């Protein structure tokens, strides 16, 4: 017997009302709304509310939600001091994972009810950007910048990280990036979050586990790897030989391919356009180089394997963040700033779903292919 469901591809494990991907048509909906519409008409805060509460907020609800986020955006002095004790070259994802787990110890809170979980969600959505921005300041030997209650979520992060308030255009670009990354059904990190929550562990624990899953280069870590690739390629003339060489060795091109989309990832479409516009404004070469990476990978894939391949969400976010002057190794933590919303919605659904069938503790089965040992020695046998 051999394992049939490697990587659990296509296996249905739970019901969800949070989002849906149509991988054939390249469509993604959050709680019934097309993400392309949300990027045009909504804000990150409105989208976060929608994902958590299954309905777009009224004006009053949105104001209250924003005000709760604003109240929760600070982190304690003790946390800031603790950050100063970390090695300055520590990976920001490791730091984020540790501090999110530590939130459970810094704040004395009730965990058990659904209502308490919404408060936890707000605390996490508010504090993840502050933790990342504070770490950026600490490792650069700069003073931490406190959140500004007059700024929205996207602008606040950029402000706390750089000390400068972004203009409206940059704020809108970053806000759109946050909307696009907020949720994506049972991706690797969300599944981890749900799995941990299925044991009845609390939200900080499930979220820190999800951050660990996001950090890997086949998942959220790909956006940092894309930027490293672009820098290594360096010039547009170097794209074709570079990609051909890597693909002829069977290496993967980061930011290309997806486990579910069999066509263009709708998030990549929006990010591509934002990156094109920003490059036209700044004169940066990174959009043009990224586009050449896309077309060359598509051509090489067709030639080598007769298969189609498309960009995923990480391809154009890398150059976009670079042009926004965000340090390259913060690309994946920024993914977490947004995806923490999806994780929280899934953790709440996993723990408190009212509709049948109710979720159960995840416990898949493994196929043992190891040895059997006795007095005569060990042998491998297939059962
Ligand atoms: N570059 C080159 N070849 C690729 C790539 C790629 N990026 N992606 C898939 N392939 C090839 C594989 O080598 C494989 O070839 P084979 O059939 O000859 O062995 C074939 O396409 C299918 O590969 P799978 O891994 O089975 O495809 P899957 O759809 O499961 O993989 C994945 C999805 C893991 C994302 C893959 O495309 C990949 O590794 N991409 C690069 C990493 C990346 O960008 N990850 C971010 C994904 S989006 C997100 O998580 C936020």
- pLDDT above 90 as % of the chain: 85
Please determine, for residue 95, whether its predicted confidence score (pLDDT) is greater than 80.
Answer: yes
Predicted pLDDT of residue 360: 82
When pLDDT is averaged across residues 356-371 and rounded to a whole number, the result is: 83
Evaluate: CB of 258 within 6 angstroms of ligand 1.
yes
Summarised one tens digit per residue, pLDDT across range 222-249 is: 999 999 999 999 999 999 999 999 999 9
Look at the chain and count its residues. Answer: 383
Interval between CA 3 and ligand 1 midpoint (Å): 20
CA atoms of 335 and 339, how far apart (whole Å): 6
Cβ 207 vs Cβ 344: under 8 Å: yes
CA dihedral 191, 195, 197, 199 (to 10 degrees): 180
Residue 1 pLDDT grade (very low, low, confident, very high; cuts 50, 70, 90)? low
Summarised one tens digit per residue, pLDDT across range 262-309 is: 999 999 999 999 999 999 999 999 999 999 999 999 999 999 999 999
Predicted pLDDT of residue 10: 85
Interval between CA 317 and ligand 1 midpoint (Å): 18
Please determine, for residue 352, whether its predicted confidence score (pLDDT) is greater than 90.
Answer: no
Predicted pLDDT of residue 114: 86
CA atoms of 46 and 64, how far apart (whole Å): 11
When pLDDT is averaged across residues 56-84 and rounded to a whole number, the result is: 97
Evaluate: CB of 222 within 6 angstroms of ligand 1.
yes
CA atoms of 220 and 208, how far apart (whole Å): 14
Predicted pLDDT of residue 319: 93
Q: Of the residues 219, 258, 265, 346, which is catalytic? A: 258
Residue from 257, 302, 316 whose mutation best tests the ligand 1 pocket (most atoms within 8 A of CB): 257
Please determine, for residue 259, whether its predicted confidence score (pLDDT) is greater than 70.
Answer: yes
Summarised one tens digit per residue, pLDDT across range 7-60 is: 888 899 999 999 999 999 999 999 999 999 999 999 999 999 999 999 999 999
Predicted pLDDT of residue 109: 61
Summarised one tens digit per residue, pLDDT across range 125-174 is: 999 999 999 999 999 999 999 999 999 999 999 999 999 999 999 999 99
Interval between CA 25 and ligand 1 midpoint (Å): 19
pTM: 0.94
Nearest Cα to 7, choosing from 182, 184, 186, 221? 186
Nearest Cα to 117, choosing from 223, 187, 2, 204? 204
Q: In b/e form, how buried is each residue of 264-280, taking b as 16+ CB within 10 angstroms? A: ebbbbbbbbebbbebbe
The least confident of 6-20, 28-42, 87-101, 349-363 is: 349-363
Give every CB contact of residue 241 below 8 A, 6+ residues apart in sequence: none
Q: Which atom of ligand 1 is nearest to the CA of 307?
A: 21
Please determine, for residue 356, whether its predicted confidence score (pLDDT) is greater than 70.
Answer: no
Q: Of the residues 202, 265, 314, 346, which is catalytic? A: 314
Give φ, ψ of 271 to 5 degrees. -65, -35
Structure tokens at 24: 């054939």
Please determine, for residue 107, whether its predicted confidence score (pLDDT) is greater than 80.
Answer: no
Residue 184 bears catalytic tag: no
CATH of region 19-221+326-352, choose from 1.10.150.80, 1.10.580.10, 2.60.40.4070, 3.30.200.20: 1.10.580.10
Q: Which atom of ligand 1 is nearest to the CA of 219?
A: 50
What is the CB neighbour count within 10 angstroms for residue 130?
A: 25
Interval between CA 223 and ligand 1 midpoint (Å): 14
Please determine, for residue 380, whether its predicted confidence score (pLDDT) is greater than 70.
Answer: yes
Interval between CA 193 and ligand 1 midpoint (Å): 23
Nearest Cα to 361, choosing from 371, 351, 373? 351
Predicted pLDDT of residue 359: 67
Q: Which atom of ligand 1 is nearest to the CA of 252?
A: 1
Residue 258 bears catalytic tag: yes
Predicted pLDDT of residue 355: 67
Structure tokens at 27: 């469509």
Please determine, for residue 331, whether its predicted confidence score (pLDDT) is greater than 80.
Answer: yes
How would you write the chain as a 3-class SS string?
A: CCCCCHHHCCCCCCCCCCEEEECCCCEEEECCEEHHHHHHHCCHHHHHHHHHHCCCCCHHHHHHHHHHHHHHCCCCHHHHHHHHCCCCCCCHHHHHHHHHHHHHHHCCCCCCCHHHHHHHHHHHHHHHHHHHHHHHHHHCCCCCCCCCCCCCHHHHHHHHHHCCCCCHHHHHHHHHHHHHHCCCCCCHHHHHHHHHHCCCCCHHHHHHHHHHHHCCCCCCCHHHHHHHHHHHHCCHHHHHHHHHHHHHCCCCCCCECCCCCCCCCHHHHHHHHHHHHHHHHHCCCHHHHHHHHHHHHHHHHHHHHCCCCCECHHHHHHHHHHHCCCCHHHHHHHHHHHHHHHHHHHHHHHHHCCCCCCCCCCCCCCCCCCEEEECCEEEECCC
Residue from 7, 252, 253, 303 whose mutation best tests the ligand 1 pocket (most atoms within 8 A of CB): 252
């Amino acid at each position: 017997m051999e394992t049939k469901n490697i990587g659990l591809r296509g296996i249905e494990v739970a019901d969800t009302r949070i989002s849906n991907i149509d991988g054939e048509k390249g469509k993604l909906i959050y709680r019934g709304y097309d993400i392309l519409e949300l990027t045009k008409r909504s804000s990150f805060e409105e989208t976060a509310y929608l994902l958590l509460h299954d309905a777009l907020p009224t004006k009053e609800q949105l104001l209250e939600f924003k005000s709760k986020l604003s109240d929760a955006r600070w982190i304690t002095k003790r946390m800031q001091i603790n950050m100063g004790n970390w090695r300055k070259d520590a990976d920001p994802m490791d730091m984020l994972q540790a501090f999110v787990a530590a939130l459970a110890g810094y704040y004395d809170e009730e965990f058990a009810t659904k209502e308490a979980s919404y408060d936890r969600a707000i605390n996490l959505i508010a504090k993840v950007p502050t933790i990342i921005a504070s770490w950026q300041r600490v490792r650069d030997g700069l003073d931490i910048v406190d959140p500004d209650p007059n700024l929205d979520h996207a602008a606040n992060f950029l402000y706390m990280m750089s000390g400068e308030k972004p203009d409206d255009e940059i704020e809108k670009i970053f806000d759109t990036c946050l909307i696009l990354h907020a949720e994506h059904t049972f991706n690797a990190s969300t599944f981890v979050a749900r799995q941990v929550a299925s044991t009845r562990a609390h939200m900080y624990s499930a979220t820190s586990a999800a951050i660990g899953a996001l950090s890997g280069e086949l998942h959220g870590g790909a956006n940092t790897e894309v930027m490293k690739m672009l820098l290594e390629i360096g010039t547009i003339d170097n794209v074709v030989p570079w990609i051909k060489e890597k693909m002829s060795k069977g290496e993967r091109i980061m930011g290309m391919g997806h486990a579910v989309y069999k066509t263009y990832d709708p998030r990549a479409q929006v990010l591509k356009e934002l990156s094109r516009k920003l490059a036209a404004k700044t004169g940066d070469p990174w959009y043009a180089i990224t586009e050449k990476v896309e077309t060359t990978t598509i051509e090489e894939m067709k030639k080598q394997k007769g298969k189609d391949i498309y960009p995923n969400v990480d391809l154009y976010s890398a150059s976009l963040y670079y042009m926004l002057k965000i340090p390259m190794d913060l690309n994946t933590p920024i993914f977490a700033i947004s995806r923490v919303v999806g994780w929280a919605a899934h953790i709440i659904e996993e723990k408190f779903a009212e509709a049948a069938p109710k979720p159960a503790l995840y416990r898949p089965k493994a196929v043992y292919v190891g040895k059997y040992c006795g007095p005569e020695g060990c042998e491998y046998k297939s059962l």
